């Protein structure tokens, strides 16, 4: 599966192997268990992060992984985001220090035209 990671206006298409989404389930469970205890999201404490907030947290970890050149963490966090929010297309990671400003961009649903109103 593909996740577009946008950092400071630059987009990188990141390919996550489908099997990683299955193989990393224990890692995802541990990460969720940690987040279930609450999480410091920039200046505010979030008691029970929503799936979107969990992906913003993972986005912040991706930024750290990029800065420290930790490809394994980058891959695991990208897989976690794809696992947590099915249908996500891109994540635009905030670099100002406020993970609440990280944008999650979902795939657009392709709608069918309504067709003629009168027959």
pLDDT in tens, 71-84: 999 999 999 999 99
Q: How many CB atoms lie within 10 A of CB 70?
A: 15
Pairing of strands 2-7, 88-93: parallel
pLDDT at 9 (0 to 100):
94
Pick out the chain residues at pLDDT < 50: 110
Eight-class DSSP state of 94: -
Contact status, residue 14 vs residue 3, Cβ threshold 8 Å: yes
pLDDT at 116 (0 to 100):
57
Who contacts 78 (Cβ-Cβ below 8 Å, separation ≥6)? 3, 5, 14, 16, 62
């Amino acid at each position: 599966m593909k996740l577009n990671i946008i950092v400071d206006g630059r987009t990188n298409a990141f390919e996550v192997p489908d099997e990683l989404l299955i193989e990393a389930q224990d890692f995802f469970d541990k990460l969720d268990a940690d987040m279930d205890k609450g999480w410091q999201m920039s200046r505010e404490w979030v008691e029970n992060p929503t799936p979107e907030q969990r992906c913003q947290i993972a986005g912040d970890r991706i930024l750290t992984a990029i800065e420290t050149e930790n490809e394994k963490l980058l891959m695991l966090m990208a897989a976690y985001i794809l696992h947590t929010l099915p249908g996500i297309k891109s994540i635009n990671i905030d670099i100002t220090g406020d993970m609440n400003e990280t944008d999650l961009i979902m795939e657009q649903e392709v709608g069918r035209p309504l067709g003629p109103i009168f027959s």
